[in-house]
Each structure stands twice: as structure tokens, then as C-alpha cells.
Amino acid sequence: MSVFGAGLYVMVVRMLAAYVRPFARDRSTYNIVGRFPYYAACLFSCAAGALDPLGLKLFFVSTVPAAFGGSSGLLWADWLMPSAAPELKLVVHRAPAWWIAAVVFGICYVVFLGRGIQFPH
């Protein structure tokens, strides 16, 4: 099952790399397209996990490995990108409104879900 899971993970990361290629002309561009979202997701996940009422032990045993390991394929997907130049080069223009929305939703995620959801008994 572990070998199957690892193989499936590599296959999915290879597909991700192929689909990201039109957005990343070279490896330095991939830092913005792939690595920056990885670090942002890890930051928000760890910030929310730090508020977990079950304590820091669970944070270090579960949250940190899941945050940094689960999507680690984004860190090395650039090695699996096809070497041929893409037929179509896509550009995503800067949109500060989306950045602000992402920060607002990220803060809500940390504040409301970080402590966990408690249902009345």
C-alpha cells in the first residue's frame, strides 16, 4: 500500500508539473508559481494547528508533518516539468484584491477552525 501511495503521489505531482509548465517558463518562475503557495499553505496550517486545544505535542506530531509533508510535491515538481517549451505561455497578472481576500480567509481559517469546532452537548 505504501509503494502504491508513493507511486500515485509521484504520478499526481508529474501531472501537476505538466499542467503548471505554461505558467512557469523557467525554474525561477516556478518559485512564484509552486513554492510560494506551498510555504503560504504551511504557514496557515501551522498557525491554525498551534491553536489546537489538544496541545503542542499533537501539533509537532501531526500538524507540522502533515502541513510540510503532505504537499511537499510542490517543492520538487519543477524537476518533473517537461523540458520542451510550452506551446502556450500563460501569465497571471497581479491582483492585490485576491491577495487581500486570501489573507482575510486565511485569518478566518486560523481563528475559527484553529481552535476546533465544538458542538453543544
On whether residue 71 sits in a domain, the answer given is yes
Distances (CA, A) of 81 to 11, 53, 55, 97, 105: 12, 41, 40, 30, 31
The verdict on residue 119 lying in a domain is: no
Q: Number of folded domains in the chain?
A: 1
Give the per-residue pLDDT at 87. Answer: 81
Mean pLDDT, range 47-51, rounded to an integer: 90
Please give the pLDDT value at position 113: 85
Q: In this structure, are residues 109 and 44 in contact, taking their beta carbons and an 8 Å threshold?
A: yes
Q: What mean pLDDT value characterizes the chain? A: 89
pLDDT at residue 120 is higher than 90? no
DSSP H or E stretch at residue 90: none
In a domain, 118, yes or no: no
Is residue 121 over pLDDT 80?
no
Identify whether 57 is part of a domain.
yes
Residue 121 lies in a domain: no
> pTM score, two decimals?
0.77
Residue 38 lies inside a defined structural domain of this protein: yes
In a domain, 120, yes or no: no
Question: How much is the average pLDDT of 21-25?
Answer: 85
Interhelix angle 36-50/96-108, rounded to 10 degrees, is 30
Q: Which of 4, 24, 6, 1 is nearest to 69 (CA)?
A: 6
The set of long-range contacts for 88-96, using a CB threshold of 8 Å and a minimum separation of 24, is: 88/22, 89/22, 89/25, 90/22, 90/23, 91/23, 92/23
User: pLDDT tens across 50-94, in order?
Assistant: 988 888 898 999 999 999 998 899 899 888 888 888 888 888 888
Domain with 21, as residue range(s), is: 2-113
